[in-house]
Amino acid sequence: MGTKLRVPTVTVIFSVLVLFAGFTLAKQDQELKRCQHQCKVAQKLDEEQRERCARECKKYYGEKEEGKGEEEEEEGWKYWSLVEDPRQKLRKCHADCERVAEEDERVCQQRCEMRWVGEEEEGRDGKKKEKKKEKEKEEGKEEHNPYVFEKGHFDTRAKGEGGSVFLLPKFTERSELLQGIENYRLGLLVANPNTFVSPVHMDADAVFFVTWGKGTVTLIRENKRESFNVERGHIFRIPPGTPVYLINRDDNEKLYIVKLIKTINLPGHYEAFSCAGGKNPESLYTAFSWEILEAALKTSRDKLENLFKKQDQGYIFEASREQIKALSQHEEGGSGSGKVWPFGSESRNAFNLLNQRPSQSNNYGKLFEADSGDFKPLRNLDLLASYVNITKGSMSGPFYNSKSTLIAIIVKGEGYLEMACPHVSDEESSYEDKQSGSGSSPSYQKINSRLRTDTVFVVPPGHPFVTVASKNDNLELACFEVNAEGNVRYPLAGKWNVVKSYEREAKELAFKSKVEEVDQVFGNQDDEMFFAGPEEEEGRAFM
Ligand SMILES: *[C@@H]1O[C@H](CO)[C@@H](O)[C@H](O)[C@H]1NC(C)=O
């Protein structure tokens, strides 16, 4: 298989690997372990091949360290390709690169291409039919799984030379099962190091969640300017109509912000109005006639035309180090001291979830959360924001939310999701069919999906679900719960699971069993919320 990797590329790969030595070496140990694990669980291999595969991993990673020959490398890949789908590897590799600074990202992406594209093409020729079938299956499955969105589902909403804003389509466009969150949209802002995100206001309410990088945000509140620094874990609210601009103040890391937008005008629709710009982004001023602008701004048409024709770099673009430095030091109050008053405390405009005590924590995971009680600006939004960090090989749940809808995005790691859903069924029957159904008790479909960076999933109220972290990495999620006020999280396993609270007689009646038998099942798990994950996970197909 691996022999198809063309010879000329090998030399290039090798030099890129060397170029990238810092990046690679740090991960080497981890990659070796991962490789060996993949060998162990690979279904396509027999015992002898598995051992050989593990040896090849060792050889491959051991030798890379010493900068040894290329032939062996190829040999190593041969076995890699047996244990994991090359398309998956390519996607994963690309996703990993996106976290790297721009210059390095190019090299990193190149490296991915060189490592995996050959194999991918090979697969394409050899397994065309199989793939087509797979794809059809995937597409078919998607119809029955309206709850999970991959990176490819995002549209590019705004763009610039220094980054983009991506937006998921309206939830109800996907499925009427998501009517409960009809007025919400989920977006993702990605800005390169040292960039400026130009001023806009929106006809919508928004909560921003920083999942990576460092920024400085400026809001114009009435006639006052309020700036505050944010970094991973910070949430902040942008009320409707509030002018906002921000910068990525880091020299190396990209800035990632997940946006939950609550529409207030047209259900599920909003616009961003550019209160700057010219050609690109188009300025809202240019919608008016010159006469009006001349009169309103008390200036001449020449000056207006001159000013509004310059900007053509789009919505996000690079700024000089000096500009970034200046913008990141204008803290609240504009004193320029770089300190927020009172000294050392958090800005009242932003709240860092990760600096709080977790509300749930054990060896298997941590949950950080904030509602309007913790962070006043969330008032009237009926919203809870949370950050979940599931330890590798562990899982969260099963539990369900009594009335809130969860919208989660994977920040880091891989794993899978299982959810029970009575609305979606295996057969062709649609939601409507079920509505007018026979009246028999519901049958639950297991919604099953692989999770990786930037995957979004939605869990409606009452729907029990579990998220499982892969054995290789922690699974980290940024979550929004809407309609959160008065919500109760009902655990279906663990110390406080609902069945445990039933009366003795109710347990016996409900399960047609002796109470001891019921307790043997529901009384065993003493942990809460986060548990050790399954040994041989069924979700392996997704890993
Ligand atoms: C999640 O947990 C891991 C392991 O404890 C830790 O290294 C990582 O920094 C955590 N992530 C966040 C965002 O705190």
Q: Give residue-wise pLDDT tens across range 350-398.
A: 999 999 999 999 999 999 999 998 999 998 999 999 999 999 999 998 9
Candidate from 368, 412, 474 with most ligand 1 atoms within 8 A of CB, to mutate: 474
CA 255 to chain centre: 13
Binning pLDDT at 50, 70 and 90, where does residue 211 land?
very high
pLDDT mean across residues, the chain: 78
Q: Which atom of ligand 1 is nearest to the CA of 354?
A: 14
Q: Angle, to 10 degrees, between the axis of helix 7-19 and the axis of helix 70-83?
A: 90
Q: pLDDT value at position 394? A: 95
In this predicted structure, the answer to whether residue 531 has a pLDDT above a threshold of 80 is yes
Q: Which residue has the higher pLDDT, 103 or 309?
A: 309
How remote is the CA of residue 60 from the centroid of ligand 1, in Å?
A: 29
In this predicted structure, the answer to whether residue 107 has a pLDDT above a threshold of 90 is no
Facing residues of 309 across strands?
A: none
**Cβ neighbours of residue 142 closer than 8 Å, sequence gap 6 or more:** none
Binning pLDDT at 50, 70 and 90, where does residue 340 land?
very low
- What percentage of the chain exceeds 90 in pLDDT? 50
Q: pLDDT value at position 146? A: 85
> pLDDT digits over 385-439, tens only?
999 999 999 999 899 999 999 999 999 999 999 999 887 654 444 444 444 444 5
Q: pLDDT value at position 42? A: 63
Q: pLDDT value at position 70? A: 40
Facing residues of 407 across strands?
A: 458, 480
In this predicted structure, the answer to whether residue 215 has a pLDDT above a threshold of 70 is yes
- The number of C-alpha atoms within 13 Å of 10 and in the hemisphere containing its C-beta is 16
> pLDDT digits over 232-244, tens only?
999 999 999 999 9
Asked if 60 and 86 count as a contact pair (C-beta separation under 8 A), the reply is no
Q: Which residue has the higher pLDDT, 67 or 276?
A: 276
Candidate from 235, 362, 476, 479 with most ligand 1 atoms within 8 A of CB, to mutate: 476
pTM: 0.72
In this predicted structure, the answer to whether residue 32 has a pLDDT above a threshold of 90 is no
Burial class (CB in 10 A: 0-12, 13-18, 19+), 505: exposed
d(CA 27, CA 22): 9
Residue nearest to atom 12 of ligand 1 (CA): 389
Give per-residue burial for 238-277: e unless 16+ CB within 10 Å, then b: bbeebbbbbbbbbeebbbbbbbbbbbeeeebebebbbbbb
Q: pLDDT value at position 343? A: 43
Binning pLDDT at 50, 70 and 90, where does residue 41 land?
low
How remote is the CA of residue 470 from the centroid of ligand 1, in Å?
A: 15
How remote is the CA of residue 54 from the centroid of ligand 1, in Å?
A: 29
What integer is the mean pLDDT of 275-294? 87
How remote is the CA of residue 389 from the centroid of ligand 1, in Å?
A: 7
- N residues, the chain: 543
Binning pLDDT at 50, 70 and 90, where does residue 63 land?
low
Q: Which residue has the higher pLDDT, 124 or 391?
A: 391
Residue nearest to atom 14 of ligand 1 (CA): 354
Protein residues with CB under 6 Å of any ligand 1 atom: 354, 389, 474, 476
What integer is the mean pLDDT of 45-64? 66
Q: pLDDT value at position 425? A: 55
d(CA 455, CA 258): 12
d(CA 494, CA 531): 8
Q: Which residue has the higher pLDDT, 346 or 274?
A: 274
Q: pLDDT value at position 389? A: 97
Q: pLDDT value at position 279? A: 82
Q: Are strands 360-362 and 214-221 parallel, antiparallel or unpaired?
A: unpaired
The H or E element spanning position 447 is: strand 445-451
